Amino acid sequence: MAHTGQLSHDGSDGETLADRLGAAGYQAWAWAENVAAGQPDATTVVAAWLDSPGHCANIMSADYTEFGAGVDRDASGTRYWTLVLAAPR
């Protein structure tokens, strides 16, 4: 996202989260993804997700037992955030 400047759940190559999980060898029975851009730090982005009903539901769901998070910056310093929540098979 930081390289393309587009906030999206689909990769620049059209891959979905399910595609990316499979390519990484992660066999999941449930998964979700929260993305955001512009928040200056982890505390702020998590607060924004918790303030959004859909994003909050992902974080609070008992369906997910594992997570991964990442952040990257574009050339101007804008941060792009991703939180992947999943449960293995």
Confidence of residue 36 (pLDDT cuts 50, 70, 90): very high
Confidence band of 13 (pLDDT split at 50, 70, 90)? confident
Q: What percentage of the chain exceeds 70 in pLDDT?
A: 100
- Alpha carbon of 86 to those of 2, 48, 49: distances in Å? 23, 20, 17
Encoded tokens for 82: 């991703």
Task: Supply the pTM of this predicted model.
Answer: 0.90
